[in-house]
Each structure stands twice: as C-alpha cells, then as structure tokens.
Amino acid sequence: MGTFQIDFSAAQKKRIVGIDLGTTNSLVAFMDLTGPTVIPGADGSNLVPSVVSYQPGGSFVVGNPAQRLLIDQPDRTVYSVKRLMGRGIEDVGEELRLFPFHIASGSEQVLKLQLGDRTFTPPEISAQVLRTLKAQAEAFLNEEVPQAVITVPAYFNDGQRQATKDAGRIAGLEVLRLVNEPTAASLAYGLDKRNEGVVAVYDLGGGTFDISILRLHEGIFEVLATNGDTHLGGDDIDHRLLAIALEDIASEWKEDLSHNGEAVQTLRRAVIEAKHRLSTLPQTTIDFDYRGRRYRRELTRDRFENLIKDIVDRTIGPCRQAMHDAGLHADQIDEVVLVGGSTRIPLVRQAVRNLFKAEPHSELNPDEVVALGAAVQAGILAGDVQDKLLLDVTPLSLGIETMGGVVSKLIHRNSTIPASATEVFTTSVDGQRNVLIHVLQGERELVKDNRSLARFDLKDIDPLPAGMPRIEVRFLIDANGILSVTARDQRMGKEQTIEVKPSYGLTDEQVEAMIEESFEKAEEDIAARQVREARVEADTILRALEKAKANDAWLDLTDDERMRIDAACNELLTVYHGDDHHLIRAKIEQLDHAGRKLAELMMNTAVKSALKGTKI
C-alpha cells in the first residue's frame, strides 16, 4: 500500500472523515497510516443500515436496532430516505407506490414524512444517520469530528446535493465537500491498481445508478463523462419480488396483506434474503412466517433473472450515453469497476461484461469502497494526501428560461467543475426595477421537460429606459456541483442584489431552525443521560445506607450524627426526581460526607471480625 505521499508535519488539525450516506447502508471511514479504513460501530459492524425510527418521547433509533422496528413499528420507522432527498411531492408519486411512507400534510412546499406524532423532512431524517456516524467516529477516534466529506450519486441534481449538505449541517457536521460516488470509488481503487488509463465505474446501489468514465493520469482522476438514473436500484428489484409474493399470498390465503405494515416489512425482509442467496445459489425458497401462517415459494435464479431483466436493462442506455459523451468505444476502456451491493447479482455482472467486453473488478468490498474513497478525499482536503486530485464534472446541463418556454443552455453536462458562465441581462419595459431569471437543469429543449432549480430575482435595478441596463450575471457551479449566482451592474460596476427562491428544498432559515432544534435535542439527550447517571449513583448510596442502618455501627453513632445522615438522605430524595443532575450530585456528596463516620465504624468492625474470623 505504498502509493501515498502523506504529510504529517501539520499537527493540531481537526479530523475530517469520509462518509458514504447510502440508500440502504451508510458508513464512515478515515485515513490512517496504512490508508483508508472503515470505522466500525460499537457492535463491531461496519455498515449502519439507513433506517431511522422516531420513538415516543423524542429520541431516534438508527441502524441495526432500527431494522427490527421497521417490522414492529412501521408507522414511525423509515428506510431509503435518500430516494426522497431534494424532491417535491409531485416527484415522489412513483416512490410512494413502492414505499409505505406516510406523506404528511403541508408537503406542498417541502416534502415531509409522518413518523408517529411528528413530521420530518428527508434531510432531518438523513441527519439522524449522520449523527450516528459522527458519534461512531468520535467514539472510535476519541476526538471531536466536526468536518466530513459526504458522497452523493454522480447524477444527483442541485436540489438533491443541497439537501445532503443541509442534512450534514443539521447533524452538526461541516460538509467540506460532496464527492460523487463513482469518483470516490475510483480513488479507492486507484490506490493499489492501475495508475494510468481509462476506467469505467458502474455503481448500482439500493436506490440510484451511476456510470462514470474517468481518465487516470499521474495521480489526477479526471471524469470524462457521467450518467445515471436517480431512481433505479436494488429497491426496485426488492419491490418487484415483493409485489409478486403479495399477489401469490393473496391468492393462496385469500387475503390482501399489502396494507398491513408489519406483514409487508416481514415479507420484504424474506424476499431480500432470498435475493441475496440467489447471488451464490442456483435456487432458493422465499420463507415467510406471519401470525402462525406460512408461505413458501421456490425461486430459481433463472426465474429471478427473467423477473428483473428489464430493471437491469435500464442501466444500459446511460452507459452507452456516457461512452458517447466521453468520445470512447468499449474497447478503449481499460478497466471496469463494480460498486454497490446490487452488483453482486450475477445478471448485473453479465450485463456489465457484455457492455464493456471486459471482466469487471470487484476486489474491494462493493459496500465499502465508496466510504474508503471518501476518506481518501478527506485526506486530500486535509493536505495529508498530496499526490492525488479529483477533477469531477456536473452531470446535467444548466440553462435559463427564455422566450417561448425554451431553455437556453449555459453550462453543458460533463463540464469539469468548478465551471461558470456569464450572461448579460437587460430590461424589456421602461423603468423596470426587477428581472426574474429561472434556472433549470436537464437536457431537454423545453422548460416543462427540465428540472426547475431556482428563481433568481435581480432587484432594485436603476429605473432606466427599456434595454439600457446591463446586468452581468455569473452562474458558478462549485466543486460540490452546487450552483451559486452573483450579479453586477456593468454600468455602475456595483454588486447587484439577488434574492434566491429555490424550487425544492429548505431555505436557510428553515435549516438554521432545524440545526438549533437538533442541538437542543442533543443537549437534552446529554442532560438526560447525566440525570440518569446521577440517579444511578444516588440509588447506590441510598441502598448502602439502608444496609448500614441494619448494622450495629449505626447504634454507635451519636443522635446528632444520625439526624444529620437522615436529613441528608431526605434532601437527596427530594431532588432525586428533578432534572438537575448537578443538584443530585451535590446531595450525594453531602450524604456521603455525613455518612463518613458510619462507614469508618463499619469498616473497623469488619476488620475486627475478619481478624477474629467471624462474619458480620
């Protein structure tokens, strides 16, 4: 593993970790002396299932413990929230078909899910997963971890990226960079494999598909083209099987279980496990037990492949488009790398082999490789890794709405980022004070077929005859793939005020409010824990005192001393059920002090008896 140049001269730096915030599973990793390493949880596992449950009383359960709650408490537990990030209510119709989530009312503005008696936006839910990962890293490294690199699908649009950044902020993390998942994976592979050449990364995860084509040259990872589908993944395969099993059960048991949360989640689990087994076995059985009834169905790999062939075929178009955009044929691609749990499916590997006419690599664990790459990128940002650099691209063209509902493209897809474009705007009416710019992402000609990103309102323009003002607007896509817009009045040379109205997602004020609440909750959690711990100590000393009163030594105390112990005991009992752990500890101190003589007497008696050989 000797391909790094690591700089240890800079001390006292805050630690930056790499986080893979996945649809199905999430991980956190860091760079140590030997290279990137995944940080395990307290239970020893590297993967944190992206499952979140909201408990009555206000706390969250995340990860492995939440998997069980998906079945027991399906109305307050969610999974695959990544599929909802940066989306509006009209986008998620298709997702809702597949997911049992309850969309809360008031979701017209910002999508909200109902968990128990509260509603949450997708970034708030993802933030819980991030908080767990942050805590996991801090426990393992024994230091604060305030900064992170978080990965996103390469094909994520601006709204989806912004939502991911928001989730990071709510979780108390400064997100230094969003890295595209296939690019991160190539960083992890680039370490001990090829250092020169053209690599295709085929990333099929739980909810998203990405294909990226990169050129590696002297430590530079240059993305040539990227394409994908942000709602295509293992979840679609699971739902295909689930739907068929439910139909089957309906005809066998004469009962439609599809509205029964517990049954559906249990069946889903069974179907997923069967799917996993079929990656290594030629056939298996779907085994579903529910309330004393049993459903068993044989499934061969052949039949499974027939059932999901069209889903896998949906990955082929984007791959061809990416190769076309990169100006390359399959035979010009040197290596193909597989990323994401769904690439374990033999049919998927076969499709990749056919497309690229090459044997794909999967030596690195497809579940972990993205997190490892994110850790390397964290190392690059920290200045610890100096011989590598990622040059990524924006996946979607950026344009503005012009006359007739047509989009005029400013920055083309697959442009290396940071990238910018400048346009000059003017007014069409005498004295016009505002100009509204509608920015969109996508490849189509018409506004209605593209994704609305935001509206930018240029305000307080000097009142002049129509066509006179010259407002120069610069559109900049930063290294995270996120757009920012600045404007300048060319004639006056002054900065132009812009008001941003994002089409999807949260305003800054909303995120600020969520961050505050999150910290309050965090503080509440800490305070609650401290109160619990103080009470445990109080219990110990009170129990000890009970026992002591039965001891002969109690009678050897003066009346005064006994009264003081009783008084201290009462004072402790009075504050015991309060919320002030400082006070509880103060009363414990006091009781401890009052009981010191008693303790000494008991000790002496014990010693004397021990010496005499008798028990007390």
Partner 1 sequence: MGTGYCWRCGGSDPESLFCKYCNSLQAPITDYYNFFGLPKKLTIDLDDLQRRFYNLSRSLHPDHYTRATPQERQYSLEATSILNDGYRILRDPVQRAEYILKEAGFDIGEQRSKDVPPELLEEVFELNMQLDELRSGDEDARRPLEESRERFTGLQQDVDRQLVGLFLAYDSARSPEAAHKALADIRAVLNRRRYIRNLLREVDKELTARPV
Per CB under 8 A, residues contacting partner 1 are 13, 176-177, 217-218, 220, 377, 380-383, 389-391, 415-421, 476, 478-479
134 a catalytic residue: no
CB 183 within 8 A of CB 172: no
Nearer to partner 1, 380 or 572 (CB): 380
Number of neighbours of residue 387 by Cβ within 10 angstroms: 12
Number of neighbours of residue 571 by Cβ within 10 angstroms: 16
The minimum distance between CB 218 and partner 1, in angstroms, equals 7
Quote the CA–CA distance of 65 and 40 in Å, as a whole number: 15
181 a catalytic residue: yes
Nearer to partner 1, 14 or 293 (CB): 14
CB 183 within 8 A of CB 228: no
Residue carrying the six token digits 């990793």 = 29
Annotated catalytic residue, options 20, 384, 392, 489: 20
Quote the CA–CA distance of 120 and 513 in Å, as a whole number: 13
The minimum distance between CB 420 and partner 1, in angstroms, equals 4
Quote the CA–CA distance of 358 and 304 in Å, as a whole number: 24
Nearer to partner 1, 133 or 419 (CB): 419
82 a catalytic residue: yes
Cα dist from 243 to 116, 206, 250, 296, 313, whole Å = 26, 17, 11, 15, 20
Nearer to partner 1, 64 or 420 (CB): 420
Nearer to partner 1, 111 or 417 (CB): 417
Nearer to partner 1, 240 or 388 (CB): 388
Helix, strand, coil content of the chain in percent (nearest 5): 40, 25, 30
Quote the CA–CA distance of 210 and 171 in Å, as a whole number: 26
The minimum distance between CB 572 and partner 1, in angstroms, equals 51
Annotated catalytic residue, options 82, 112, 134, 388: 82
The minimum distance between CB 237 and partner 1, in angstroms, equals 31
Nearer to partner 1, 393 or 598 (CB): 393
Annotated catalytic residue, options 124, 181, 236, 367: 181
The tokens describing 13, both together, are 């730096």
CB 127 within 8 A of CB 136: no
Nearer to partner 1, 197 or 261 (CB): 197
The minimum distance between CB 148 and partner 1, in angstroms, equals 12
The minimum distance between CB 412 and partner 1, in angstroms, equals 9
Peptide bond into 418 cis (omega under 30): yes
Cα 39 off chain centre by: 15
Q: Which residues pair with 387 in a beta bridge?
A: none
* SS3 state of residue 34: coil
The minimum distance between CB 140 and partner 1, in angstroms, equals 23
The tokens describing 163, both together, are 């939502």
The tokens describing 357, both together, are 């006419």
Rounded to a whole number of angstroms, the CA Rg of the chain reads 30
Amino acid letter, 596:
R
CB 212 within 8 A of CB 401: no
The minimum distance between CB 283 and partner 1, in angstroms, equals 39
Strands 483-489 and 471-477: antiparallel
359 a catalytic residue: no
The tokens describing 169, both together, are 């902020």
Q: Which residues pair with 26 in a beta bridge?
A: 21, 48
Quote the CA–CA distance of 330 and 321 in Å, as a whole number: 12
Nearer to partner 1, 179 or 584 (CB): 179
The minimum distance between CB 112 and partner 1, in angstroms, equals 34
Of 538, 523, 545, 528, residue with least CA distance to 585: 538
Strands 147-152 and 16-21: parallel
DSSP string, 216-240: EETTEEEEEEEEEETT-SHHHHHHH
Residues in contact with 269: Cβ distance below 8 Å, sequence separation at least 6, in sequence order: 71
Nearer to partner 1, 319 or 390 (CB): 390
Nearer to partner 1, 389 or 586 (CB): 389
Amino acid letter, 18:
G
The minimum distance between CB 380 and partner 1, in angstroms, equals 5
The minimum distance between CB 229 and partner 1, in angstroms, equals 23
Cα dist from 402 to 135, 460, 467, whole Å = 48, 22, 16
Annotated catalytic residue, options 158, 166, 203, 489: 203
Quote the CA–CA distance of 185 and 32 in Å, as a whole number: 18
Residues taking part in catalysis: 20, 82, 181, 203
